[in-house]
Amino acid sequence: MGRKLQNSELNRLTVEEFKLAAKLPIIVVLDNVRSQHNIGAAFRTGDAFIIESIFLCGISSTPPNAEIHKSALGAEDSVDWRYFANTVDAITLLKHNKYKIISIEQAENSIMLNKFLPDQNEKYAFVFGNEVRGVSQSVVDASDLCIEIPQDGTKHSLNISVCIGVVLWEFYKNLH
């Protein structure tokens, strides 16, 4: 196997280097996410894949916040973020800036994640919804499309932090 690497051997970016680095053309939009753990996980995953920003909407908490920090582990300092009282306002701004809006939701005519091939010339905004209600219908209606993560088990959904990891990894490996 091999020796487990120390953090100092991983050659990670500093926060300052992260801010200057080229970003994956992705913005994560959190539509009324109530769990501060999930919000922190979004920051940490967004940092791992060097996304542009996170848009926190509605009831979603914002940094600085001790509960967000517990799972973000400082990524709330590296990943840019903005707050919007209304998710549709965030979507409107993103559309104006030529982002393709993709709700991660089980919906009529959704495309399975493993069947979607991202366009290298597009910018993407992925909307992840509330832990119980999912992405609100008004946001689904404002989206360009819905992507669904294929699942075969007995449960109907994955935790939002897992969804974010799966979706960002899929796009990272296809765009990077």
Please write the tens of the pLDDT for every residue from 43-56.
999 999 999 999 99
The pLDDT score that the predictor gives to residue 19 is: 95
Name the average pLDDT for the chain: 96
Residue 10 lies in a domain: no
Q: Does 79 map to a domain?
A: yes
User: Contact at 8 Å (CB) between 166 and 149?
Assistant: yes
Q: How far is CA 166 from CA 2, 84, 102, 173, in A?
A: 27, 25, 14, 11
Mean pLDDT of 125-151: 97
In a domain, 167, yes or no: yes
What CATH number does residue 76 fall under?
A: 3.40.1280.10
Instruction: Give yes or no for residue 8 having a pLDDT over 90.
Output: no
| Any domain includes 147 | yes
**Whole domain around residue 140: which residue ranges?**
20-175
The whole-model pTM stands at 0.96
Does 73 fall in a domain?
Answer: yes
Count of structural domains, the chain:
1
Classify residue 1: in a domain, yes or no: no
pLDDT recorded at residue 1:
86
pLDDT category, 162, cuts 50, 70, 90? very high
Q: How confident is the model at residue 153 (pLDDT cuts 50, 70, 90)?
A: very high
